[in-house]
Amino acid sequence: MFSKLRNLGQASSRMLVSAGIRSEQQLRDMGAVPAYIAVMAAGCKPSLNLLWAIEGALTDRDWKEISRDERTSLLLRLEDYQRDNF
């Protein structure tokens, strides 16, 4: 399912599946922020490391390589998404 993607181990994969995200293509189509929101909406309590991990998986980088600027951008997108959709 997500075994080919970096950063997404069993726990992360379980959270994504519980959010209804069942394929790499579905994850790519959604993007990191909407996928993270879906995981939270499914009742999981992910840390922000999951957001970094998803972004890293989608860009084929280790989650620790996500720069401070990229993390800030993701957090701003997360805030915007939550404001506009909830």
Q: What is the pLDDT of residues 30-46, one digit of tens each?
A: 999 999 999 999 999 99
Q: Residue 1: pLDDT above 90?
A: no
Within the chain, strands assigned E span none
CATH node for 10-85: 1.10.150.20
Q: How far apart are CA 40 and CA 43, in angstroms?
A: 5
Q: What is the pTM of this model?
A: 0.93
Q: Where are the domains of the chain?
A: 10-85
